[in-house]
Structure 1
Amino acid sequence: MTSHASNLEARLALAEAVAREGGAMALDYFKRRETLVIETKRDPQDVVSIADREVENLIRGRFNEAYPDDGVLGEEYGLEAGTSGFTWVVDPIDGTSPFINGMPNWCISIALLHEGVPVVGVICAPCHDELYAAALGLGATLNGKTLRLDPTRTIRNSVTGIGSNNYVTPAFVGKMVESLLAAGGNFIRNGSGALMLAYVAAGRLVGYYEPYMHAWDCLAGYCLVKEAGGWYQSFPTEGEGLTKGAPVLAAAPGAIKDLRQVAGL
């Protein structure tokens, strides 16, 4: 085993443990969500609570303690640059809207970047008791079971996940849905892009497309999909690109061509 692979295994193990710990904290808040004070950010659909902030603080603290030279980027507290060449990218609760409304479709998403590439991806879905984990060259798993995508699945015999937000126009969203349906596909949207990317890695969805998404929402899922044998559209991770949004597309082998056409990528 190379030292780099060993290094990734250690960081993957830490990410799994931290995701479980953060997931337990978030689940505790979820069970008493009626006590949470909900704040809005960009608009009434873009919400945050103390649960998001406390889970991110926990995760940041664990990574700072174990790898003080690593950078950390989180949705709630931004980028803390590091010197090691590694940067953790964290969404403490992806799917805050389902979370505060009592639906189980939310997760903790943790990715690790090295030289601009997502090399670790861990997604914890506490309500479903599921932990998705992957590292570059080490494969992807769901609760310890290896994930491998079926190349015979296409948009016509499977379901595609889609996402939308107010960064794109209603007309654009309508067009992408129309294009997918016209190509023979069908879709779902569950309120958590990170969780739907994990579902792509697990073969539950054949692909996921969202025209504007942030790094903390997609990079963990990207690593999972890649290690399960799928493909993803590269995300701009250099400079200011890491903190801004971009189109996100991931697909199983049999859906890549069709979904790239649907997305225009």
Structure 2
Amino acid sequence: MPTAPRIPHDVDLDARYAAVKRVALAAAQRGMAFYRDREALTVMHKGGDQQDMVSIADRQIEEYIRADLSREFPEDGLLGEEGGAADLQARCLWVIDPIDGTACFVNGLHAWCVSIGLMVDGEPTLGAIADPNHDELFHACLGRGAFVNDAPIRASAARQVSEGLTGVGTFHPRGKAHFIPFLQGLLSSGGMFIRNGSGALMTAYVAAGRLIGYYETELKSWDCLAGLVLVQEAGGRRNDFFRNNGLLDGNPYLVAAPGVYEQLAALIGPSLDGD
């Protein structure tokens, strides 16, 4: 389990926390405008993978987010799913997913969001996940708690996987060999699973106690950076996602309520840590 992160006191987190909430909400409303007119969108597939989609909405919304954050915090670095990296060595690094759940977005399903997180000195420090379909803004800053809109949230008090729903997912290039065995173990233990197509939202739901855990055989940092702060502040646990260049390459991923984390990790097995 990762050690508790250090809260930076010499960075203006107040300004950045206010900005990330404002920008995420504004970007989500831009996303809704595209969503309502999604039949007109041009959709492409990344690398020939029919499940990995990108649309003009993803690109334009990320450009908006980057421009706004760069204007207010020109010294900060940026890492986005669509626009790549700029100044990765900066002390403050924004990690952006303009539309997490693009496949849901283009197919008219209400499981997509805007996710923006900030790393400070290599630690997830604040984040916002805006879900305009349900008028929910999940947000958190280290040391200040986690919230949905203005209401505090906490991870589930479940002690067994049979006491709630576990979010799951897999990504085709690698890791899928571990997926079916995990599902078999979860079901054999009395658990049940759900997949909604958005890693950011499922992470937020763990922080909010709606899911008892979320396992993905491979996830990218822009899908989860904001949510990791939520989980931390809501009293949940996570695996060591950032090992072996996880920031850029992604890794197996587990977040869970503290009472079921070890049980879920045991069901996943050594692949969770890359062994």
Please point out which of 100, 112, 123 is paired with 2:118: 112
Instruction: State the match for 2:71 in structure 1.
Output: 65
8 A contact 1:94–1:109 mirrored in 2: yes
Please point out which of 21, 30, 40 is paired with 1:16: 21
Amino acid at match of 1:217: D
Q: For 1:4, what is the secondary structure of its paired residue? A: coil
Following the alignment from structure 2 to structure 1, what is the Cα–Cα distance between the partners of residues 167 and 246? 24
8 A contact 1:218–1:248 mirrored in 2: no
Amino acid at match of 2:207: A
Please point out which of 82, 90, 95 is paired with 2:96: 90
From the superposition, tell whether residues 207 and 5 of structure 1 become closer, same or farther in structure 2 (CA, over 3 Å). farther
Q: Indicate yes or no: 2:190 matched with 1:184.
A: yes
Please point out which of 45, 48, 60 is paired with 1:54: 60
Amino acid at match of 2:114: I
Alignment of 1:112-261 (within 5 A): 112-168=118-174, 170-236=176-242, 240-261=245-266
Amino acid at match of 1:77: G
TM-score, structure 1 as length reference: 0.94
From the superposition, tell whether residues 82 and 123 of structure 1 become closer, same or farther in structure 2 (CA, over 3 Å). same
1:140-193 CA deviation, whole Å, 9 max, x = no partner? 000110112242453111100001110235442211211211222110000111
8 A contact 1:183–1:258 mirrored in 2: no
Q: Indicate yes or no: 2:82 matched with 1:76.
A: yes
Moved over 4 A (4+): none
Following the alignment from structure 2 to structure 1, what is the Cα–Cα distance between the partners of residues 156 and 133? 26
Instruction: State the match for 2:4 in structure 1.
Output: none
8 A contact 2:175–2:217 mirrored in 1: no
Q: Aligned pairs, how many?
A: 263
Extract unaligned runs of 5+ from structure 1. Answer: none
Q: For 2:116, what is the secondary structure of its paired residue? A: strand
Q: Displacement of 1:234 after TM fit?
A: 2.1
